Structure formats: C-alpha cells, structure tokens
Amino acid sequence: MENSNRIKNLPPYLFAEIDKMINKAKSEGMDVINFGIGDPDQPTPQNIVNKMREAVQDPTTHSYPSYEGLVEYRKAVSNYYKDRFDVDLEPNTEVVSLIGSKEGIAHLPLCYINPGDCALIPDPGYPVYKTSILLADGNTIMIPLKKENEFLPDLAKIEVESAEKAKIFFLNYPNNPTSAVANLDFFKEVIAFAKKYNIIIAHDAAYTDIYLDKNAPHSILEVEGAKDVAVEFNSLSKPFNMTGWRIGWACGNKDVIESLGRLKTNIDSGIFEAIQYAGIEALSNSKKSIIEMRKLYKKRRDLIVDGLTKLGWNIKANKATFYLWVEVLEDLTSSEFSKKLFKKTGVFFTPGIGWGDYGENYLRIALTVNSDRIKEAIKRIEESNFIYNN
Ligand SMILES: *Cc1c(COP(=O)(O)O)cnc(C)c1O
C-alpha cells in the first residue's frame, strides 16, 4: 500500500530516536530522570474530577454533543476572557470548542490553505504548526526566534514578498519551548502587520495562565481591532492538569471561528458533554488550584536554576510556562550534549533541535519532575563531574 504524498512528506519525528534511547536505558536498569515531558505530573484538581463524576451519571450527557460545544461551556470561556483579560467574546459566534487545542491548530489550515499557499511558522516552535500546513499541501516560511530579540519574531526582517504571500501566521506566547513572554506592544505590532498584509493570526495561548512572576501574560485579543484578523487557541490541558481529557477552544474572529466549526462538523462530533461540564467547573471555580500550581512550578524552577548555577551552568529563570530554555556551547550540538549528559547521569534534558533549526544550541528542561527527583538529578550531575562548558 502506498502512502499519500501528504503522509510521505511529513518530517520524521525527531524525538523517536530519543524515546528509543531512554527506553533502552530503562530496560538495562538505568534509573532515568526525564525532564523531557511536556505534560503536568500532578492530578486534575478534585473539584473538576467531582464535577465530571456527577456529570457522567447524568444520561443526558451521553449522546452526541454539538460540534460547536455546549453554550454553557462557550459562555464560561467568554466569562473567563472578560474576567482575565477584559476581552468581550460573543459565545455564539466567537468561540468554538475543540478536542484539545492541538486539534484546532491542526485543522485550521484546511480552512484557508490551498495547495501552494504559504504560512509563517516560528522556529523553534510547537511541531504541529508546521505539519498542519504541510498536511494542507501548503508551504512553510520559517521565522526565526532569536535570543537577541527575546525569542520574538523580528517583523521588520520578514521579507515583504513572504508577508504578501502568507495567509496564516502562527504565534505562541508564553512560548514553548523558549518560555518567552510577549508584551502588549509586540501584540499590537503583530496585529498591525497582519492587517497590512491580510494575514490570519493564529495565536496559541496554551500557557497563558502558567506564569511564575507577578506579571500575568496578555491575550492577543486585548489589542484593539485584534478580532478583525486574529484567533486565539487555548486549552484546559496545562493550567488544570487535564491533558488527557482533550478539551480546549478557539476564539476571536467570527469568520475564522465559523469556518473552523464548519470543517469540524464534517470531521468530529465535539467533546463529550460530561467533560464540557468539568471544563466549565475548571474555568469558573479553580483559581485556587492555579495559584498552587504556580507555586509548585516556581519552587521546582528555583531548585533547578540554583542547583545548576552553582555547578557553573548559564541558566536563566523562566517567567512563564513550565520550561527552562538553556543555552549550551557551540562545540557540541544540543543532541550530543543531551546524550552525553544522559549517558553519564541518567538525567535527560531535551535537545532544542527537536523544535527546529533555531533550537540548536539549546536544551529544554521541563518542570514536570518532583522536587526530590530534581535534587537527585542535580546531585548526580555534580558527582558525575559533567562539565557544562567543556
Ligand atoms: C501542550 C501544547 C498544546 C496542546 O494542548 P492540547 O490542548 O492538550 O491539545 C498546544 N500548544 C502548545 C505550545 C503546547 O505546548
């Protein structure tokens, strides 16, 4: 059976080799401490689990849901945007439920990209942006995120020809993997750029509530007129430890929301309603657990930053997301560095090349490992005499 070109042309899964290496080491008895996992290690807060338990007992939740989501769920999203960002969203036309934000991100290009059309994709970046364009037979124009620009795209450096060709621009702040945060001025520039060149801004805000200092990150929809060109993808996965539940949403420009909804009626049949009721509970009544979650990640971050700084690593505390983005030296690739450290210590930090060419010379350390294991990892690195700067 011959695969379609669409499948054949998907880039190889760069982490497959890593998974193999980790599994092999485990099977040989190595006690692996894996900082590679972008999935919260804590359980979903109890009030949300209780709501699910109650909702699943109600047989009215057992039928096909509506593709666009319960109006109560979309209202909860709208209330959350008002409360958190002072952004008004009309629940019936400006919000659509998603089976996790990844689902919406992967489907959006099918609504706007004809074969050969272009999209602007951040590098490094969440791999789904690029593959979603390739699956729609589109072309990707990679936009570097560099340290000297605080990992924001330099809009002035995007060639006019590229901007004129592009139909979608994916952005993600707070950013995975670099942990960069965008301020409102940057979002204003993005919206002006999108209007000038007639581009849809698809902003992935999966980490907007995972912030570890006083300043809460902004929604791009806070910018005046943003809804003319932008949609924001958001998710319950990361703030409420609900990655397995598969619930998120897209909101913003009503034409884009309508198109995405129309596509989805032809592909899926929405989110299990019991899960939507649990989602309403998460959005409406879980501020306390978010505060606890931030404290936990902050404590872990400080343990790693303090521990590795003492060992001579050049490491900057992240202000948001649960990732540290750590520069490594140029004479080893990020993969070589990661592998060498792993072989010596059983501690795994993910090589940045997995998120794109501009991720080279970086490692991503996820704060999804508990404090005792963090201390153990630091101790092993210290005792191994592994030298950070060769
Ligand atoms: C985890 C993650 C998502 C996916 O979230 P789901 O809602 O679980 O699909 C989207 N974007 C980024 C950048 C992520 O890290």
Domains and CATH numbers, the chain: 5-44+288-383 (3.90.1150.10), 46-286 (3.40.640.10)
- pLDDT at site 158: 97
Mutation choice for ligand 1 from 175, 235, 241, 364, CB with most ligand atoms inside 8 A: 235
Q: How many CA atoms lie within 13 A of 175 on its CB side?
A: 24
pLDDT at 173: 98
Q: Which residue's CA is the closest to the ligand 1 atom numbered 14?
A: 206
Percent of the chain with pLDDT over 70: 99
Which tokens in the block code for residue 390?
Answer: 């060769």
Return the axis-axis angle of helices 46-56 and 273-285, rounded to nearest 10°: 150
**Closest listed residue to residue 109, CA positions, set 79, 140, 142:** 140
Task: For residues 44-70, give the mean pLDDT.
Answer: 96
Give the model confidence (pLDDT) of 344-381 as tens digits. 999 999 999 999 999 999 999 999 999 999 999 999 99
Lowest mean pLDDT among 12-21, 37-46, 198-207, 312-321: 12-21
**Which residues contact residue 342 at a Cβ distance below 8 angstroms, ignoring those fewer than 6 apart?**
21, 22, 25, 348
**What spacing in Å lies between the alpha carbon of 1 and ligand 1's midpoint?**
32
Q: How far is CA 110 from CA 24, 97, 314, in A?
A: 39, 17, 42
Distance of alpha carbon 356 from alpha carbon 372, whole angstroms:
32
Q: Is the pLDDT of residue 115 over 80?
A: yes
Name the burial class of residue 382, with classes exposed (0-12), middle (13-18) and buried (19+) by CB atoms within 10 angstroms of its CB. middle
Region 228-257 average pLDDT: 98
Residue pair 76/284 in contact by the 8 Å Cβ criterion: yes
pLDDT average, residue stretch 140-148: 98
Tell me how far apart the alpha carbons of residues 154 and 156 are, in angstroms, rounded to a whole number. 5
Q: Which of 176, 210, 251 best tests ligand 1's pocket when mutated (most atoms within 8 Å of CB)? A: 176
Average pLDDT, the chain: 96
pLDDT at 390 over 70: no
State the pLDDT confidence band at 92, using cuts at 50, 70 and 90: very high
Pairing state between β 230-235 and 33-34? unpaired
Q: How confident is the model at residue 265 (pLDDT cuts 50, 70, 90)?
A: very high
Mean pLDDT is lowest, of 118-127, 129-138, 163-172, 331-340, for 331-340
